Amino acid sequence: MRIHWAWLLPVALIAGTTGKMTGHWHEKMKRMQQGSMAGQTLADLARALENEKYNKGSYPETIAGLKVQSEFGDFSEVVLSRTKYYRTEGGYIAFVGSPGVQWIQAGTSPRLDH
């Protein structure tokens, strides 16, 4: 059986292109999953902060001892541990560094900046 070398180049190009496209798709899905996890974690944190304000009259100084419970599966303790929380006069701001910058302010929805 003879191998036709002329077929080797197109097959190699197709395999390389397919591999590259699969890698890009995998990275895109990973970023979307991380964004969903960060967004849900911040939404759960926002709910816990609002409950704290309702129960005690003001937002807490820190989120270290705050009980954050999730209603959905995308909550992440790892993301919560990376969250930087800043208490302000009119509310609070929480930042998360991965992916991009997620942030949430009192009375608004989570935002994702790329």
Task: Give residue 7's pLDDT.
Answer: 73
Radius of gyration of the chain (CA): 22
Task: Give residue 55's pLDDT.
Answer: 92
Element (H, E) at 11: helix 5-56
Mean pLDDT for each 10-residue chunk of the chain (114 residues)?
Answer: 70 80 74 72 87 88 86 81 82 71 62 53
Task: Give residue 8's pLDDT.
Answer: 74
Strand arrangement of the beta sheet that strand 92-96 belongs to:
84-87, 92-96, 101-105, 111-113
Task: Give residue 114's pLDDT.
Answer: 46
Task: Give residue 113's pLDDT.
Answer: 54
Nearest to 51 by CA among 67, 32, 39: 67
Tokens representing 85? 């929380």
pTM of the model: 0.62
Could you tell me if 92 and 106 are in contact, meaning their C-beta atoms sit under 8 angstroms apart?
A: yes
Tokens representing 113? 């900046």
Task: Give residue 33's pLDDT.
Answer: 64
CB atoms within 10 A of CB 67: 7
What are the boundaries of each domain within the chain? Answer: 36-113
